[in-house]
Amino acid sequence: MAFADTQTGAVLLHGESPASIELAGTVAKGDAVGFSGGWKRALATAAGVIQLRCIAGEDGVSGQKITAYFGVVLIDARFTGATAGGALYVAEGTSNGMFTQTAPTTSTDANTIVGYALSATSAALTPNFNVDSVV
């Protein structure tokens, strides 16, 4: 089964370093969130890289304040088909806020490892430990 990020149904099993952030776009619980003119979904695509800074702790829309986690986050029920032990990256293209197990390879895409799959459906994400990197 291929990896898929459903961007729905996320269950946060654990989250460190919670903080309140004001959104500049719509997010879903468990989304990769970064800062670019405001807090919004992260994206690895060259034309608009937004590096992962935290994980959304709840759904929210632009102008709303939500809880976000800046430390280690254990998440379940958001993914299918993940390879346990495999690296996770912020997705590229139009998949804002999503994760992938395929490392972005286009020149100037963000290719930072943001966590690891624990099983086919769960992951440990570490947004605050990452150093920005691009291809």
This prediction's pTM: 0.91
Give me 31's structure tokens: 């989304």
Q: Which domain holds residue 89?
A: 4-129
**Does some domain include residue 66?**
yes
**Does some domain include residue 21?**
yes
Contacts of 119 (CB under 8 A, 6+ apart): 82, 84
**Does some domain include residue 118?**
yes
List C-alpha distances in Å: 20 to 30, 40, 85, 104.
15, 13, 31, 30
Q: What is the pLDDT of residues 111-124, one digit of tens each?
A: 889 999 999 999 99
Q: Give the mean pLDDT per block of 10 residues along the chain (135 residues).
A: 90 95 97 95 87 95 98 94 95 88 85 93 85 62
**Does some domain include residue 135?**
no
